[in-house]
Amino acid sequence: MLDTLHRIRRTVHEDVRTAKENDPAARSTAEVLLYAGLHAVWFYRVTHAIARRGHPLAARALSQVARFLTGVEIHPAAEIGRRLFVDHGMGVVVGETAEVGDDVVLYHGVTLGGTSMAREKRHPTLGDGVTVGANATLLGPITVGEGATVGAGAVVTRDVPAGATVVGNPASRVDERPDSEAGGEEDEEREGHLSDGTARVH
């Protein structure tokens, strides 16, 4: 029991610290505690624990309450690592078989969705340190490698290599785009930002 309480306390502290570190608008811990994205992550951690203890219906019921209160829908069966930061949160959807590593950042409107009705792996896997920009859609059992960045509004249906940056619909790597498309982005990339406003991960 004490070990469980210790883990919960550590996780809560980590999540709060992560939110403060990733949001330049955060002025205090008290302010961060008001964030809907943070509430959504905590709801997920509770529902996931309930589901793992053999109570999937109760977990789903609570996750729907969380969806109503936060605007974020994370399936209790999804596997999510430590220090997830959901910025703004509204409209984020994480499917049942999605896997999310440590230190991942999801902006508002992100969908980690499936492409089939099969009762098997059908949602994306995100490695550690992945950043997914606002309104990006990632579909199917694809893998986004460690440290990769998905630009805002991108539609991703193929694997993304570790450390790569992809943008557009359909998504393509920045260093593989035609010169006519990539030329206007080069200066912004040198300063660490993509043209769609998603910061590059360093």
**Residue 150 β-bridge partners:** 132, 166
Residue 127: closest CA among 88, 164, 178 = 164
Identify whether the C-beta of residue 119 lies closer than 8 Å to the C-beta of residue 100: no
Instruction: Please report the pLDDT score of residue 186 as a whole number.
Output: 45
The pLDDT > 90 percentage for the chain reads 67
Cβ atoms within 10 Å, residue 187: 10
Instruction: Please report the pLDDT score of residue 187 as a whole number.
Output: 47
Mean pLDDT of all residues in the chain? 86
Q: Would you say the pTM of this structure is higher than 0.75?
A: yes
| Strands in the chain per DSSP E | 73-74, 79-80, 85-86, 93-94, 99-100, 105-106, 111-113, 125-126, 131-132, 137-139, 143-144, 149-150, 155-156, 165-167, 172-173
In the chain the domains, ranked by start, together with CATH numbers, are: 2-190 (2.160.10.10)
Query: What is the arithmetic mean of pLDDT over 15-34?
Result: 89
CA dist list (Å): 74 to 36, 40, 124, 200: 13, 8, 13, 25
Q: What CA–CA distance (Å, rounded) separates 166 from 100?
A: 18
Q: Which residues are catalytic?
A: 88
Q: What is the pLDDT of residues 134-159, one digit of tens each?
A: 999 999 999 999 999 999 999 999 99
Q: What is the pLDDT of residues 69-111, one digit of tens each?
A: 999 999 999 999 999 999 988 999 999 999 999 999 999 999 9
